[in-house]
């Protein structure tokens, strides 16, 4: 049997005294795109932060394997170098750090962690240019400080650009559709779809079905009160859209 790219077993996490993840189980085989849908406050974003290693959460139970390796023992930077990528719902603005400088630092840090040599500047520029073209990102945007003054669409395109450059095996997209108009949604989705391949898996977190018309998932999970309460194919998303989340609340109880 192939090793799943991501395997979450009975994951519990809390922030201070409040338990937010209450036993998440999820297996994502290579090449598959899974969607997690749920209400605001159901714990979807917490799941993405816990996977990426944000400090605020305490893991009380369970384990997570990334391509067979124990993810929870790794520092956030190690997780990234091991192939995990989180596209943020709200990418952070970092004044004084040029986007280009950041991209190069991130690529080289990951290469270094994997024992690969540094990218030469021409190779780096070429990679950025190639990846940027489809996302309508020009070099002027990349000279600006990271995410500072970027529009909603620019921020999300910049996230997908990072994903394209870092070539992760496991992409988590946290509410990537938030703050996007229809045109921007199409550009971003196209960018994401271009990165789909047999070795790379994705976890798409959203509370609207809309995004899933563009990034078509293999499996849809319904998230409620800190765990997955229902899984199905893409028709589950349509069913949710039509009926709302209420039907699944009992399942969670």
Partner 1 sequence: MAFSVPVRLGAAENTLIEQLNSAGAAATAERISVAGLPTRRVESYHYTDLKTLLRSVPPLADQNDTLDAFLKSGATPFHVEGAHQITIANGAVAYDDNAPAGVIVGKAEGNALSTRDDVLVHLNTALAKESLTLTIENTIEQVIQIDRRIEGEAAHVLDSAKIFVADNASVTILETLSSSDAAHVGNHATYLAVGRNTVVTHIVIDLSPRAATQFSTSEYTIADGAKLRTVTIHAGAALSRSQIFARFTGEGAHGDFTGLNLVEDGQHNDITIDIRHGVANTTSQELYKQIARGRSKAVFQGKIVVERDAQKTDAKMMMQGLMLSNEAEILSKPELEIYADDVVCGHGSTCGELDEDSMFYLMSRGIPKAEAETMLVRGFIEEVLDPVENEALAEALHGVVDRWLLGKAG
Residues that bind partner 1 (CB under 8 A): 52-55, 75-77, 79-81, 85-86, 88, 91-92, 94-97, 101-102, 105-106, 109-110, 113, 145, 162, 166
Between 52 and 127, CB nearer to partner 1: 52
Which helix (DSSP H) or strand (DSSP E) does residue 22 occupy? Answer: strand 18-28
Q: What is the C-alpha to C-alpha distance for residues 14 and 33, in angstroms, rounded to an integer? A: 27
Rounded to a whole number of angstroms, the minimum distance from the CB of residue 141 to partner 1 is 17
Rounded to a whole number of angstroms, the minimum distance from the CB of residue 56 to partner 1 is 8
Rounded to a whole number of angstroms, the minimum distance from the CB of residue 244 to partner 1 is 32
Between 55 and 253, CB nearer to partner 1: 55
What count of other Cβ atoms lies within 10 Å of the Cβ of residue 244? Answer: 11
Supply φ then ψ for residue 35, to 5 degrees.
-110, 140
Report residue 50 as tokens. Answer: 């816990």
Spatial CA neighbour of 251 closest among 233, 217, 227: 227
Between 103 and 222, CB nearer to partner 1: 103
Rounded to a whole number of angstroms, the minimum distance from the CB of residue 104 to partner 1 is 11
Q: What is the C-alpha to C-alpha distance for residues 149 and 24, in angstroms, rounded to an integer? A: 36
Rounded to a whole number of angstroms, the minimum distance from the CB of residue 171 to partner 1 is 12
Q: What is the C-alpha to C-alpha distance for residues 106 and 87, in angstroms, rounded to an integer? A: 14
Which helix (DSSP H) or strand (DSSP E) does residue 72 occupy? Answer: none
Between 94 and 238, CB nearer to partner 1: 94
Supply φ then ψ for residue 245, to 5 degrees.
-90, -10
Between 16 and 75, CB nearer to partner 1: 75
Between 53 and 217, CB nearer to partner 1: 53
Between 97 and 141, CB nearer to partner 1: 97
Burial of 17 (0-12, 13-18, 19+ CB in 10 A): exposed
- Label the pairing between strands 6-15 and 58-66: antiparallel
- Provide the phi-psi class of 54: left if phi over 0, else alpha when psi is between -120 and 50, else beta: beta
């Amino acid at each position: 049997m192939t090793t799943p790219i991501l395997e979450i077993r009975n994951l519990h996490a809390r922030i201070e005294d409040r338990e937010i993840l209450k036993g998440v189980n999820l297996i994502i085989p290579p090449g598959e795109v899974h969607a997690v849908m749920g209400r605001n406050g159901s714990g979807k974003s917490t799941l993405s932060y816990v996977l990426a290693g944000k400090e605020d959460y305490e893991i009380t139970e369970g384990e997570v394997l990334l391509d067979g390796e124990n993810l929870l023992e790794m520092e956030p930077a190690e997780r990234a170098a091991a192939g995990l990528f989180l596209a943020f719902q709200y990418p952070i603005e970092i004044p004084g750090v040029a986007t280009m400088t950041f991209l190069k630092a991130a690529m080289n840090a990951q290469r270094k962690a994997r024992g690969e040599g540094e990218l030469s500047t021409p190779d780096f520029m070429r990679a950025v240019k190639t990846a940027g073209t489809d996302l309508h990102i020009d070099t002027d945007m990349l000279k600006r400080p990271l995410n500072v003054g970027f529009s909603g669409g620019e921020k999300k395109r910049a996230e997908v650009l990072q994903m394209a450059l870092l070539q992760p095996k496991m992409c988590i997209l946290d509410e990537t559709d938030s703050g996007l108009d229809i045109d921007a949604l199409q550009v971003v989705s196209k960018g994401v779809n271009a990165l789909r391949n047999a070795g790379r898996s994705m976890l798409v977190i959203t509370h609207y079905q809309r995004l899933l018309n563009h990034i078509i998932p293999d499996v849809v999970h319904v998230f409620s009160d800190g765990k997955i309460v229902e899984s199905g194919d893409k028709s589950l998303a349509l069913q949710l859209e039509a009926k709302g989340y209420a039907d699944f609340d009992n399942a969670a109880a």
